[in-house]
Chains A and B, each alone.
Chain A
Amino acid sequence: GIQVEQSPPDLILQEGANSTLRCNFSDSVNNLQWFHQNPWGQLINLFYIPSGTKQNGRLSATTVATERYSLLYISSSQTTDSGVYFCAVALSGSARQLTFGSGTQLTVLP
Chain B
Amino acid sequence: EAQVTQNPRYLITVTGKKLTVTCSQNMNHEYMSWYRQDPGLGLRQIYYSMNVEVTDKGDVPEGYKVSRKEKRNFPLILESPSPNQTSLYFCASSGRWQETQYFGPGTRLLVL
Contacts and interface: CB of A to CB of B under 8 A. Distances in A.
Interface of A: 1, 30-31, 33, 35, 41-45, 47-48, 50, 86, 88, 96-103
B102 A100 contact: no
Interface residues of B, number: 24
Contact of B56 (A44, A96, A99): A96
Contacts, number: 51
Interface of B: 31, 33, 35, 42-45, 48, 50, 56, 58-59, 88, 90, 92, 97-103, 105-106
Chain A binding surface, main DSSP class: strand
Please give me the 4 A-B residue pairs with the lowest Cβ-Cβ distance, nearest first: A43-B103, A48-B100, A100-B43, A45-B100
Contacts of A100: 35, 42-44
A103 B45 CA distance: 16
Contacts of A50: 98
Contact of B31 (A30, A35, A96): A96
B98 A31 contact: yes
25 contacts: A1-B59, A31-B97, A31-B98, A33-B101, A41-B88, A41-B105, A41-B106, A42-B103, A42-B105, A43-B90, A43-B92, A43-B103, A45-B101, A45-B102, A47-B100, A50-B98, A86-B42, A97-B45, A97-B58, A98-B45, A98-B101, A99-B45, A100-B35, A100-B44, A102-B42
